[in-house]
Chains A and B, each alone.
Chain A
Amino acid sequence: MDKLLNDFSVGNAFWMTILFVGLILLLKKFAWKPILDSVEEREEGIKKALEAAEEAKKEMQNLNADNEKLLKEARAEREAMLKEAREIKEAIISEAKDEAQVAAGKMIDSAKASIEQEKQAAISGLKKQVAELSISIAESVVKKELASNNDQLQLVDQLLEKVTLN
Chain B
Amino acid sequence: MEGLNFIGAGLVVIGAGIGIGKIGGSAMEAIARQPEATGKIQAAMLIAAALIEGIGFAALFAV
Do any CB atoms of chain A lie under 8 A from CB atoms of chain B in the complex? yes
Interface residues of A (CB under 8 A from B): 1, 3-4
Residues of A within 8 A of B63 (CB): 1
In chain A, what residue has the closest Cβ to B60? A1
Residues of A within 8 A of B61 (CB): 1, 3-4
Chain B binding surface, main DSSP class: helix
In chain B, what residue has the closest Cβ to A5? B61
A69 CA to B63 CA, complexed, in Å: 87
In chain B, what residue has the closest Cβ to A3? B61
**Interface 0/1 of B21-63, CB less than 8 Å to A:** 0000000000000000000000000000000000000000111
In chain B, what residue has the closest Cβ to A4? B61
Residues of B within 8 A of A3 (CB): 61
A1 CA to B61 CA, complexed, in Å: 5
Residues of A within 8 A of B62 (CB): 1
A4 CA to B63 CA, complexed, in Å: 11
Residues of B within 8 A of A4 (CB): 61
5 contacts between A and B (CB under 8 A): A1-B61, A1-B62, A1-B63, A3-B61, A4-B61
In chain A, what residue has the closest Cβ to B58? A1
Distance to closest chain A CB from B60 (angstroms): 10
A4 CA to B61 CA, complexed, in Å: 7
In chain A, what residue has the closest Cβ to B63? A1
**Interface 0/1 of B11-22, CB less than 8 Å to A:** 000000000000
Distance to closest chain B CB from A7 (angstroms): 10
A79 CA to B28 CA, complexed, in Å: 74
In chain A, what residue has the closest Cβ to B62? A1
Distance to closest chain B CB from A91 (angstroms): 77
Distance to closest chain B CB from A4 (angstroms): 5
Residues of B within 8 A of A1 (CB): 61-63
A3 CA to B63 CA, complexed, in Å: 10
